[in-house]
Amino acid sequence: MGKRWVMEMSPHEARRFKLRRHNSRPKTRLDNLPEDVIPKILSRLPLKEVVQISTLSSGWRHVWRYHPDLIFSVEKLFDGKDKGDQEFVTSVNDILKDHYCTVVNKFKVNYGLSEEHGDDLDEWLRFSVLSKAKNVVLDLCPPPKCPDNVYNFPLHLFDDRNSSCVLSLRLVLVCLRPALNFCGFANLRSLKLHRVYVSKDLHCMLPHCVVLEWLSLTDCFMPSFTMSEPLDHLQYACIQNCSLQSMELHAPNLTVFEYSEQDVPIVLGKFHKLTKAKIEVLSDSDNLDYTFSHLVRAMPNAEEISLRIHIQNEARQFMTDSRCDFINLRYLNIEVLVDGDPGCSSGILRLASLLELTPSLDVQSACYLQSRSPP
């Protein structure tokens, strides 16, 4: 009936009728929401999508400027098509120039920049500090052609006052030079370093991370890791392939420990709460005694241990001072690289003595032997 009545109207009256009906329609639900709600909704979307949505309404034109997650990568900025260093740097600078969010949740840069872009990187990190970013990621892969051009991470920007908001920090392919007077990251809970050049040690940095719970150091270049002061809140520690010359760690509440290094001088406090460990000793000499006397011995209450060790067939004695009972150990997986005289078995037979140390060992435990000896 309504359609017939519209058809009987003159073209001019029909246009006026449709215009009145259009204007009388209720506004979209998003427009009716309080002003502070729309940014919260859009904050759950990627920044790129928020920028696209902001073009749909003049009222949303600047809403992207308050997005709490700033993630800069080729995928996010250019749909996976790399446009070169200068275009990447310009794009990041343009976005940060117009961004006004007072508290940033995540600030991430994932692009292969080097020290020659140090001024821009410094400014970006200074922005993350001023915007109180909680989670900071700086991943500068792939590496520069010249190792000397690795970016020097400006730790001085994250002093005691400025870094209190940082909860997690992940650095990839940077150079870290902790100063003796550094006292930042009081609330840092997670620290992940991958392929990071550490000029000295972390002993002047980590003691100030008093609530640190998660520590991961993988493929880094650092002369030593020396923590004589206990990290009381540390629950997870992973130290792998860092070319250490010495190692010391005290973490009374550690529950998971992953370690892969050479048989270097090592001091470990008792990990009484540790339940799971994965250990690999990287050496060509027999290291069964070293593994148990310096590493496994610090884990008396462990329930699951995975080992990758090296045994010489000619070795004879299992050192008595490395013996201790592991009454809670149920799963023991050992991968053994066997070397030496194939006609001698005393080195391998030492593994049998492990049964005396592990009265609760589950039948699912396993030992894998791999021989490098000639037939």
pLDDT at residue 1 greater than cutoff 50: no
Domain positions in the chain are 1-30, 68-198
Radius of gyration, CA atoms only, the chain: 30
Q: What is the pLDDT of residues 36-87, one digit of tens each?
A: 666 666 666 666 666 666 555 655 555 556 678 888 999 888 888 888 999 9
| 355 CB-side CA count, 13 A | 7
Cα separation, 152 vs 125, whole angstroms: 12
From 10-14, 201-205, 238-242, the region with the lowest mean pLDDT: 10-14
Transcribe 358-372 into DSSP letters: -TT--TT-EEEEEE-
- Residue 209: which of 235, 231, 238 has the closest Cα? 231
Burial of 146 (0-12, 13-18, 19+ CB in 10 A): exposed
- Give the chain's mean pLDDT: 83
User: What separation, in Å, do the N-terminal and C-terminal C-alpha atoms of the chain show?
Assistant: 98
Confidence of residue 117 (pLDDT cuts 50, 70, 90): very high
Q: What is the mean pLDDT of residues 234-246?
A: 97
- pLDDT recorded at residue 254: 98
The mean pLDDT value for 331-336 works out to 89
- Is pLDDT above 60 for 321? no
Q: What pLDDT is attached to residue 365? A: 62
As a whole number of angstroms, the distance between CA 233 and CA 83 comes to 43
Lookup: tokens for 253: 């509440």
Residue 99 pLDDT level (bands cut at 50, 70, 90): confident
Contact 249, 258 (CB under 8 A): no
Q: Is the pLDDT of residue 192 over 80?
A: yes
% the chain with pLDDT above 90: 47
Strand ordering across the sheet containing 151-152: 151-152, 174-176, 197-198
Statement: residue 161 has pLDDT above 90: no
pLDDT band for position 20 (cuts 50, 70, 90): low
Distance between CA atoms of 136 and 106, rounded to whole angstroms? 6
Tell me how far the alpha carbon of residue 280 is from its chain's centroid.
Answer: 21
Question: DSSP assignment, residue 27?
Answer: P
| Over residues 75-101, mean pLDDT | 87
Predicted pLDDT at 221 = 94
And the tokens for 167?
A: 């909860």
Contact in structure between 203 and 179 (CB atoms under 8 Å) = no
Pairing of strands 331-339, 366-371: parallel
Residue 166: pLDDT above 90? yes
Residue 6 banded pLDDT, cuts 50, 70, 90: very low
pLDDT of 216 reads 99
Instruction: State residue 183's pLDDT score.
Output: 87
Residue 277 near residue 248 (C-beta atoms within 8 A): no
**What is the pLDDT, as a whole number, of residue 320?**
46
Least confident segment among 3-7, 48-52, 70-74, 199-203 = 3-7
29-33, 98-102, 361-365, range with the lowest pLDDT:
29-33
When pLDDT is cut at 50, 70 and 90, the band that residue 270 belongs to is very high
**pLDDT of the residue at 9:** 58
pLDDT at residue 65, as a whole number? 62
| pLDDT at residue 175 in the model | 96
SS3 of the chain: helix, strand, coil, percent, to 5 = 30, 25, 45
Q: Residue 318: its pLDDT value, please? A: 65
DSSP state letter for 123? H
Higher pLDDT, 62 or 325: 325
- Tell whether pTM > 0.75: yes
Res 352: pLDDT:
79
pLDDT confidence band for 193 (50 / 70 / 90): very high
Token pair, residue 217, equals: 């150091």
pLDDT bin (cut points 50, 70, 90) of residue 162 is confident
For residue 98, what pLDDT is reported? 79
